[in-house]
Structure 1
Amino acid sequence: MLPHNNHPSTPNAPEVLESADVQIEPITTARGRETFGTLNQHSSCNKAYQIGISDAQGPRPTMEDSYGFVVDFDAVRGQGLFGLFDGHGNKLAAEWCGAEFHKYLLDTLQRHPNTPIPEVLTSMFSAMDQTLSELSQSSALMAASGCTAVMAFLRIEDADGQQSFISSSPSQPADRTCLRQARTPPPTSKRVLYCANAGDARAVLCRHGEAIRLTYDHKASEQSEIDRVRKADGIIFRGRVLGYLNVTRSLGNHEAHDGFSLKKFIVGTPYTSRTELCEQDEFAIIACDGLWDVMTDQEAVDLIRGIEDVQEASKRLLGFAFGNGTRDNVTVMVVRFINTQAT
């Protein structure tokens, strides 16, 4: 692990849920502004993808989901960072992750520019979890809080996986947040989608109509996770780790339960994947288990494939979830790829 700093068949379309609980992320655009350092800000300069987000508290007493995205992430035109965090215990861990995750990835990337991205993502998750541990020492509420996490990093690369259009310029500052304008990669660049997740929040790619899962569900029903927990001297009963939590990986959860440290069993180490995008790749769906508990990956892809408007697509998925009985908070992010060339 890298050293790190701790701080810096098509279903019938349902009626879309219309209630005061439904929150639709407005498509506000920063015209003439660079947004590569700004969280949750759309940009008129972005020609590489479109983002639609919908969420709803549903019947739960509180909303414990959080999300974030950065257009032209790390000052590279066409890059994007997308994250979703599904809280449990309370909302503190998810809210903190949603507000801070992009800073942790940027810091790790800039300190380890030649490290494979999956390793960078693993180190980033570890750093975030360590900070949550430190925050938990002075806050019982934070100690009781945790969240599943899923991130997708759309990266522009050379054929060899490097970014020579950045490193080959000696005049570029090391801290790219100081730049006034994002770099435009050469047209020969490729787009690679890196994903990382801990828990059961999920990312799914639509490739020419086929659903391809990019993440792994870490649940107490998965044999590999059962074996890992047991090897750490933990137990799973009633389908939950120590009878408490049905996911086996998360960020946070730095409290003791029945005299045991939950973190010994519910670890924050993510599953990672790398997918080089091609012309057949249409969009990605990033959502919490409130959606995936009531529909399959392929059903989700089939439901929205014919919807060009990404905001309407995310809203349609949200409506399906509640129309089919989900009892959880639901957050859905749809990222539609405009083309496969860096722009």
Structure 2
Amino acid sequence: MNGGLEPQTPPDSPSMDAGVGKPPRHHLTSIRHCASSARIAAAAAAASPPDYGLDLGTLSLISPTDVRTGFLPVFRSGSCAEIGPKSYMEDEHVCVDNLIEHLGGRAAGIPAPGAFYGVFDGHGGTDAACFVRKNLLKFIVEDMHFPTNVEKAIRGAFLKADYALADSHSLDNNSGTTALMALIFGRTLFVANAGDCRAVLGKRGRAVELSRDHKPTCKSEKIIIEKLGGTVFDGYLNGQLAVARALGDWHMKGPKGSISPLSAEPELQEIVLSEEDEFLIIGCDGLWDVMTSQCAVSIVRKELMQHNNPEKCSGELVQEALKRDSCDNLTVVVICFSSNPPPQIEIPRSRVRRSISLEGLHLLRGALDSNA
């Protein structure tokens, strides 16, 4: 993530090597849409088959009919981090597949199974990203609202980490970081994001975005920035930072408690996982700058079906992003929710000829549903 600031000191964490990935068959960009799945269904119901021959099976996937209500995910993760073309590595990440074991005596009252993952894209040095990686989970668990109100605990932990960076005398005041974390208890998944990292769920081959990129040029973020006295110049907050939300950066925020257009407040998403939810991809913007969410899900699903190894999948995504000339550090974590590889997707026969790829089918369905 290009925060508009050059790092002061090189990081001391080595980059990880990854195998050479295979390029995807198709790379689709965004699709404009003006109809929802519900409207299409209504039109199909009103039309007689001889006139239209519209089979809604071409816009949906066959889902298993025997979904077990007692489903519990099994957490397996793999990560890959590469310095890319930049001079220093400023990304950090964390993977905890067994939260109960990781917390030990502090795990009392926490539902099982549990897991925790995060990616942190630093700028202006590595101090902020390293600090947040080491302390965010601890701040969540120690919050007075945990575990009875997880959402409040997460929000409180983000703000506590931000204030701790302001109070520290040993960390660089010019250092900042974006933060995206995924916390899972049983089937409940919490995603919290401040910045432009992204979390994408793979749902039977379809990409479902669980976070929003906080760019200064985003309309809603730009409105907030300007209401708080900031400006967006050439895509940068106050002409300095390429994100609208971040932890740290206290040289821009001013004294604690003062009004600042740069916020550490995270956006949260909570969902209940089902058997259709196969894996989660979380990554810094070095990946998403050159790859759509659907493309990443298609690559990971194809690779999992071949070797069922989430670490190799994360390496495939990083290598593919480098082939596409990503200009940033690259960090990707892939989290699987089953010990088995994804099943083969069966597309029902259609009464009309179809010339859209499977990836395009997933992307179209997601676009239509999001507009319903």
The structure with the greater share of residues assigned to helix is: 2
* Match runs of 1:28-177 below 5 Å: 48-74=74-100, 75=107, 77-108=112-143, 111-113=144-146, 115-135=148-168, 138-139=169-170, 142-156=172-186
Structure 2 unaligned regions, length at least 5: 1-13, 20-71, 101-106, 341-372
Number of aligned residues = 261
Distance (whole Å) between structure 2 residues aligned to residue 95 and residue 324 of structure 1: 28
Would the aligned equivalents of 1:256 and 1:262 in 2 still touch at CA under 8 Å?
no
Aligned AA (1:84): V
1:271-329 CA distance string (max 9 Å, x none): 10001000101000010000000000000000110222111100100001100010100
Shift of 1:123: 1.0
Distance in 1 of aligned mates of 2:177 and 2:258: 13
TM-score norm. by structure 1 comes to 0.71
Identity rate, percent = 34
3-state SS of paired residue (2:264): coil
Asked whether 1:245 is paired with 2:275, we answer no
- How many angstroms does 1:47 deviate by? 8.1
Task: Find the aligned partners of 1:321 and 1:306 in 2 and give their Cα distance.
Answer: 17
SS at match of 2:250: coil
C-alpha distance 304-263 of structure 1, shift in aligned 2 (>3 A)? farther
Alpha-carbon distance between aligned partners in 2 of 1:119 and 1:71, rounded to the nearest angstrom: 23
Residue 276 of structure 1, aligned match among 267, 272, 276: 272
What is the DSSP-based 3-state SS (H/G/I as helix, E as strand, rest coil) of the residue aligned with 1:106? helix
The letter of the residue matching 2:84 is: G
Higher strand share: 1
Which of residues 222, 228, 247 is equivalent to 1:232?
A: 228
Q: Distance in 2 between matches of 1:250 and 1:257?
A: 10
In 2, distance between residues paired with 1:142 and 1:85? 16
Distance 1:113 1:199, change over 3 A: closer
Asked whether the 8 Å contact 1:291–1:321 carries over to 2, the reply is yes
**1:234 alignment partner AA:** G
RMSD: 2.5
Corresponding residue for residue 302 of structure 2 = 306
The residue that corresponds to 2:333 in the other structure is: 333
- State the SS of the aligned residue for 2:172: helix
TM-score (norm. length: structure 2)? 0.66
Name the residue aligned to 2:36. Answer: none
| Higher CA-based Rg | 2
| Worse-matched range after superposition: 245-254 or 111-120 | 111-120
Letter in 1 for 2:153: V
Structure 2 counterparts to residues 206-221 of structure 1, below 5 A: 206-221=202-217
Q: Judging changes above 3 Å, is the alpha-carbon distance between structure 1 residues 235 and 257 closer, same or farther for their aligned structure 2 residues?
A: same
